[in-house]
Structure 1
Amino acid sequence: MSTDTTLRIALVVGSVRDRRIAGALADWLVTELDGYEGIRLDRIDLAEVDLPLPFARPDGTGSAIAHRLAAADGFLILTPEYNHSFPAAVKNAIDWHYGEWAYKPVGFVGYGGSGGIRAIEHLRAVFPELRATTVREAVLLALPWTRLGADGRYRPADGERGALTATVTELLWWARTLRAGRAATEQAGRAGRGADDGAVGDGGSADGAA
């Protein structure tokens, strides 16, 4: 088992529209997350990923990001809210993969007129089907376009940094816990396979004696 204690967190940017503020929000998240020790952040922008709907495979075959999702210990999904739900691009990325999400935690940063809360609630119903755990805390960025500075940078409202801290703290707790669980399961599986190999050898010897 690896002794590396660094947690790999994938920041999935869910908007693929040409005119979007997701880039500025993702930049803000990256800056904030840089202050956490012991994590390695991988920014996955779905606007830069080709996942054609007709070729979707639930096992990630042909996906350019499958290996990056598989390497992650947890996920932070940045999602806008469109018509009371999350974007089709996010659902497509979810459905292209399966095992990459399993037994890992997922946190959410939503944005929109109401902070993306309905998009997040819909996502909470999706991820358990993939055996992923969604964290209780979430970040809701309401009307974020009103807080973009002249330089294009996002200026968080009161309480948003605190919400992010609470969300990330919970996400990292689950990431450590579930990584240990996955490692223990993998180790037990290897031990079981070794025992099976030994049993086959013993059986061969007994047959020879008969």
Structure 2
Amino acid sequence: MTRIGIILGSTRPNRNSESVGRWVLEHTAGHDASFEIIDLREHALPFFDEPLPPMAGQYQNPHTRAWAELISSFDGFVVVTPEYNHAPSAVLKNALDYLYAEWNNKAVGFVSYGMLGGVRATEQLRLVAGELQMADVRAQVALSMVSDFENFSEFRPAARHEGDLQALLGQVVSWSRALAPLRQAGPVAATV
């Protein structure tokens, strides 16, 4: 069965990504795939500390090897990202930067939140996904801190977001399946 990881892109106290991630998970019924939350709080990844670039695939640290094993087990991802200063969080970017081949030929969709829906964070993550040879799907969910959160903290999404989320989930599952032959063929060589 196709496995999709829902990555929570914030580790700060009082974060909103946990409630948004649970909302995503609650709406996965009907999609022929298994979904699992990947909470970056549970993965102690210091700022990138490998001696070789991730493209080399020669991970030295136990935390990197554990992260690589986990990410390898998924076929695609939904990334729940906050927008901090017009960008994704540093902890999310760091988690992506740790690996290379483990991300290749996998689909990714974005559920973002921020004052303007987190769309600027998503745009930057689409560039990162391209470099990691991931297929980012067109559908996205952009949640406003003003209208989708009460007091900027209690998540109350507008009903209209459910249709966007269903489109995103459908695209991530479909693209993850379509990319399976490329994943089975192995990583594509990249130049450093």
Q: Which range, TM-score by smaller chain?
A: 0.7 to 0.9
Return the alpha-carbon distance in structure 2 between the equivalents of residues 182 and 85 of structure 1. 29
Return the alpha-carbon distance in structure 1 between the equivalents of residues 9 and 75 of structure 2. 19
Structure 2 residue 124 is matched with structure 1 residue 132 = no
Q: Answer yes or no: is the 8 Å Cα contact 1:60–1:98 preserved in 2.
A: no
Partner residue of 2:4 out of 6, 9, 17: 9
Return the alpha-carbon distance in structure 1 between the equivalents of residues 58 and 10 of structure 2. 20
Structure 2 residue 49 is matched with structure 1 residue 45 = no
Q: Answer yes or no: is the 8 Å Cα contact 1:60–1:97 preserved in 2.
A: no
Q: Which structure features the higher share of strand residues?
A: 2
Identify the residue that residue 173 of structure 1 maps to in structure 2: 174
Return the alpha-carbon distance in structure 2 between the equivalents of residues 67 and 39 of structure 1. 20
Q: Identify unmatched segments of 5+ residues in structure 1.
A: 1-5, 187-210
Partner residue of 1:25 out of 20, 26, 34: 20
| Alignment of structure 1 residues 104-115 onto 2, 5 Å | 104-115=106-117
Return the alpha-carbon distance in structure 2 between the equivalents of residues 37 and 90 of structure 1. 26
Q: Answer yes or no: is the 8 Å Cα contact 1:81–1:116 preserved in 2.
A: yes
Structure 2 residue 155 is matched with structure 1 residue 164 = no
Give TM-score, length-normalised by structure 2: 0.84
Return the alpha-carbon distance in structure 2 between the equivalents of residues 54 and 86 of structure 1. 16
Alignment partner of 1:53: what SS?
coil
Q: Identify unmatched segments of 5+ residues in structure 2.
A: 187-192
**1:55 to 1:136, Cα distance in 2 relative to 1, 3 A:** same
| Alignment of structure 1 residues 1-210 onto 2, 5 Å | 6-33=1-28, 35-53=29-47, 55-56=49-50, 58=54, 59=57, 61=59, 62=62, 63=64, 64-143=66-145, 144-146=148-150, 154-183=155-184, 185=185
**1:168 to 1:60, Cα distance in 2 relative to 1, 3 A:** farther
Return the alpha-carbon distance in structure 1 between the equivalents of residues 15 and 173 of structure 2. 28
CA RMSD of aligned residues (A): 2.0
Identify the residue that residue 189 of structure 2 maps to in structure 1: none
**Seq. identity, %:** 36
